[in-house]
Amino acid sequence: MLTMLSGTAAAQDDPVITADPASVSEEGEADITVSGENFTPGNSLFLLPCVAPDGDANAINGQQDCDIADLTAVTVGDDGTFTADVTYDIVECFAIAAGDAAQTEAAAVTILVDGAAGACGTDGGGSDTTEEAPATTEGPGGEDPLPETGVGTNLMIAGALFLLGAGYFSTRAGGRLGER
């Protein structure tokens, strides 16, 4: 099954999410705009607040590192994109994961805390900006930087999202059946 999913992902651009702001000046509650692209049009996704081990979105285990009780449902537009405004309590190594219940698409992004002392923070050295560019990896030949999409973590996040989605839709369907 893993081979089948990875073959599908290679045939198209991988889903990517970004957060605005990409960093905050201190830990605490923050309003974040999450945007995604390269998702399947019309697909239902869930956004989850997570803590990325050592600040690495690729290392997130959805069931262990994410607050699966605090999901936000979004629907992908006809162009494969979405935008959602969320409010989260930002801590060091904070990340946001997005994925669908069918476990076919997922991506994650970290949000840095300026001046944080740990492996996830910046150096704290007098930066007068609160936004930083998203993490990138050089493309072929050292050109065209590509965003880190958390491809290695996608299936773990998608598994957690699938369980949440199944419970969410079961609860909604159960309520409708009781009304009949």
Q: If you average pLDDT over residues 161-174, what whole number do you get?
A: 62
What is the CATH number that goes with domain 2-120+148-169?
Answer: 2.60.40.230
pLDDT, residue 103, reads 78
The type of residue at 17 is I
Q: Which residue has the higher pLDDT, 58 or 67?
A: 67
For the cut 70, the answer to whether the pLDDT of residue 102 exceeds it is yes
Degrees, nearest 5: CA angle 11-16-19: 175
Q: Which residue has the higher pLDDT, 137 or 32?
A: 32
Every domain of the chain and the residues it spans: 2-120+148-169
Q: What is the Cα–Cα distance from 104 to 39, expressed in whole angstroms?
A: 10
Q: What is the pLDDT of residues 19-55, one digit of tens each?
A: 999 999 999 999 999 999 999 999 999 999 999 998 8
Q: If you average pLDDT over residues 6-13, what whole number do you get?
A: 50
Q: How high does pLDDT run on average in the chain?
A: 74
Does the predicted TM-score (pTM) go above 0.85? no
Q: Are residues 148 and 136 in contact, defined by beta-carbon separation less than 8 angstroms?
A: yes
